[in-house]
Structure 1
Amino acid sequence: MLDGVLSDCMYNAGWTEDIRKIVDHLHCQYPEAPLFAVGTSIGANVLVKYLGEDGVNIPLVGAAAICSTWDLLICDRFINRKLVQKFYDKALTIGLQGYAQLSSCRHQPILSRLADWEGIKKSRSVRDFDNYATRLVGKYETVDTYYRRCSSASFVGNVSVPLLCISTLDDPVCTREAIPWDECNPFILLEVENLHQEAIGVIILIT
């Protein structure tokens, strides 16, 4: 619940402390239970980064990353190329602005001194939002610095538990260009499909 969140760090594509504490808590509560984790999109990026940061010192027995952004800097460049990507960019920005507004109502003393609220209101892209909010709250020098430091592709080589990664070649946001083809180690199974073709197959099956 937001009422119980007092941390200065809210939205951040590379913030792994929350998942680390949750996994550690569950492991302490149920030490004999096998724990698995699944992340999608930005959540997948956070999950893979966490797995890479902690390496063998992790209580999970397996994980799955679905449509991870992998490289935030590459995805930032990609999302501004064509009209369909710009549509997603705008929709995501509106969602982030709403999230920030909700958070400010609950955490005004914390967030008002960290973020540029006028900039947030004027944001027309995810990059704008990250410049006026995420970068400042996370204390990154620039937006590109934030993207580079929080990209899971830089950590995937250190993953030491079985990890299933599912990506699509025609994802409108998480581009194939960001997939770390060569960095995946033997613990990682990378499954890549064509989203459009798979969707057609599902439609045929339903009808």
Structure 2
Amino acid sequence: MYHASFSDDLRLTVDAVGAGVAAGPARDASRAVIGLAGFSLGANIVAHYVGTLGAAAPAAGIRAAAVGCVPFDPAACQPRIDGGICRLLYANRFVGTIRAKAEGVVASLGGDAAAARVFDVERVRAARTIGEIDDAFIAPVFGFDGKEGYYAASNTVPLLKDVAVPMLCLNNLDDPFFEPTALPTEADVAGAPVVLAYNNHGGHCGFFEGPTAPGGVNFMGAELSRFLTHARDTWMDMLP
């Protein structure tokens, strides 16, 4: 449902995979070693989850995280996505897909009357922006009092200082969906093992190394993988 910090399913997966974390020493083959990665909305979910776990992340088997194009502050992102060229090229199409999902929820609940106990069906059908969809559908479905409460709860910036495992956050300053002045700074990290890597160019999840790159190599995927490998090899013996 595109909730920017919903991590219940991620937590279930980590719990299942990480069940072997106490099986032996750090390099024992039976011991879980988990690296988390995500992009766009999924990047915020991963970063928010790791920040919420804090010092408990290593015990869960998590050794590192690497994320790209992170919408750290949804309240700052929403006006950008709903404005100008972004609304024309992206938001209009995206809102249509969410409205379709909402109709599926209406059907699964047994019709308009039953769904109206959860969210305002007609407001969702009339929504034309992501902000309106978040306010009329996402927020009430997940128990928030409007989009402001939902955005505040999904803001990852205040959690960065609590991250306890190496995490790379790869963003572009020309990403049309994000307000660059709202991106976190080293002051927000406050000494946590978080790398904020900001490129001047790359748009949203572009990162192509070039038109002639072998196999259409994407810089983001290669860089996230490189960081996870480095963190695994460097930090493995330093964590419980």
Answer whether TM exceeds 0.5 for this pair: yes
Give the TM-score band, short-chain normalised.
0.7 to 0.9
1:164 alignment partner, one of 163, 168, 175: 168
The residue matched to 1:24 in structure 2 has which SS? helix
Gaps of 5+ in 2: 24-30, 217-240
- How far, CA to CA, are the matches of 2:142 and 2:198 in structure 1? 32
Is 1:140–2:144 an aligned residue pair?
A: yes
In 1, distance between residues paired with 2:63 and 2:115?
Answer: 36
C-alpha spacing 1:179/1:129, structure 2 compared with 1 (3 Å): same
Distance 2:137 2:106 in 1: 12
**How far apart are residue 112 of structure 1 and its match?**
5.0
**Match for residue 78 of structure 1?**
80
CA positional deviation for 1:107: 4.7
Mapped to 1, the partners of 2:46 and 2:110 lie a distance apart of 28
RMSD of the alignment, in Å? 2.4
**Pair 29,191 (structure 1): closer, same or farther in 2 beyond 3 Å:** same
CA distance in 1, matches of 2:130, 2:68: 21
1:191 maps to: 197
Contact in 2 for aligned 1:37/1:64 (Cα 8 Å): yes
* Aligned-partner Cα distance in 1 for 2:211–2:110: 46
- Equivalent of 1:129, from 122, 129, 133? 133
SS for the counterpart of 2:210 is: helix
Aligned to 1:25: 16
Percent identity for Structure 1 against Structure 2: 22
Cα distance in 1 for partners of 2:70, 2:207 equals 19
Match of 2:220 in 1: none
| Mapping of residues 30-69 of structure 1, within 5 Å | 32-58=31-57, 59=60, 60-69=62-71
- In 1, distance between residues paired with 2:164 and 2:208? 35
Distance 1:69 1:170 in 2: 13
| Stretch moving more, 72-81 or 24-33 | 24-33
Q: Distance in 2 between matches of 1:103 and 1:191?
A: 39
Describe the shift of the 1:29–1:86 C-alpha distance in structure 2 as closer, same or farther (beyond 3 A).
Answer: farther
Q: Return the letter of the residue paired with 1:76.
A: Q
- TM-score normalised by structure 2 residue count: 0.73
Which secondary structure does the structure 2 equivalent of 1:130 belong to? helix
Q: 1:41 to 1:137 in 2, by over 3 A?
A: same
Q: Which of these residues, 91, 96, 100, is aligned with residue 98 of structure 2?
A: 96
The aligned residue for residue 123 of structure 2 is: 119
Structure 1 segments unaligned to the other structure (5+ residues): 1-9
Query: With structure 1 as the length reference, what TM-score do the two structures score?
Result: 0.83
1:202 to 203, 207, 210: 210
Paired residue type of 1:122: A
Shift in Å, 1:84: 3.2
Report the Cα distance in structure 1 between the residues aligned to 2:208 and 2:9, rounded to whole angstroms.
37
How far did residue 149 of structure 1 move? Answer: 1.5
Deviates more, 1:86-95 or 1:45-54: 86-95
1:173 aligns with 177
- Secondary structure, counterpart of 1:39 in structure 2: strand
